Amino acid sequence: MKKVIYAAATALALAVGVGVVYLNTGVSAAPASTFVLLDGSKKSTEDLKGKVTLVNFWATSCVTCVAEMPKVIATYDKYKGQGYDTLAVAMSYDPPSYVVNFVETRKLPFKVAIDNTGAVAQAWGDVKLTPTTYVVNKRGEIVKRYVGEPDFAELHKLIEKLLAEA
């Protein structure tokens, strides 16, 4: 009986160890960046720590970005009270007046930055395709990148897992 318990405990420990390695694979610190928000204030990558944050690179001219925005808003509304935030980063080629109009007419409830120089997109992996979305954990580490519209059911599961972590 002791051998069976020992074997089960060993198998469990091995499975947990493999799980930890698997979960940490591909996790990297979010690049040091300064985001200039529409109101002129600034937010840094350091400010993302302590919350699970969706960083979404988008453009008003991007059909997929515009189509996914209601789902991005719904995700924000669903989790904002649980330590979740969203930061939408408009691409450098997007005219600021278009971005402001989009934000006001769609009543985006989260912070929006304009990457005037393209430096933020460059720092985050030379983002050229929109939408490109990053999920950042409470420690300020990128745990997932989506190019194109995310699978929102999968995204919600990931957000819930990350929110549950200490």
Q: What is the pLDDT of residue 24?
A: 40
Q: Are strands 111-114 and 84-90 parallel, antiparallel or unpaired?
A: parallel
3-state SS of 71-92 is HHHHHHHHHHHHCEEEEEEECC
**Does any domain span residue 22?**
no
**Does any domain span residue 9?**
no
CA dist., res. 142 & res. 126, Å (int): 15
Instruction: Give the CATH number, domain containing residue 94.
Output: 3.40.30.10
**Bridge partners, residue 57, by sequence:** 89, 132
**Bridge partners, residue 145, by sequence:** 134
**Does any domain span residue 56?**
yes
Number of alpha carbons in the 13 Å side-chain half-sphere of residue 115: 24
**Does any domain span residue 80?**
yes
pLDDT per residue, tens digit, the chain (166 aa), is 544 333 333 333 333 333 333 334 468 999 999 999 999 999 999 999 999 999 999 999 999 999 999 999 999 999 999 999 999 999 999 999 999 999 999 999 999 999 999 999 999 999 999 999 999 999 999 999 999 999 999 999 999 999 999 7
Q: What is the reported pTM?
A: 0.83
Angle between helices 96-106 and 63-79 (to 10 degrees): 50
Here the tokens at position 43 are 């937010």
**Does any domain span residue 113?**
yes
Q: What is the pLDDT of residue 166?
A: 77
**Does any domain span residue 128?**
yes
Cα–Cα distances in Å, from 45 out to 80, 141, 143? 18, 10, 15
Q: Where are the beta strands (DSSP E) in 59-152?
A: 84-90, 111-114, 132-136, 141-147
Cβ atoms of 121 and 89 within 8 Å: the answer is: yes
**Does any domain span residue 138?**
yes
**Does any domain span residue 60?**
yes
* 150: preceding bond cis by omega (within 30 degrees): no
Total domains in the chain come to: 1
- Residue 120 is part of which domain span? 29-164
Q: What is the pLDDT of residue 112?
A: 98
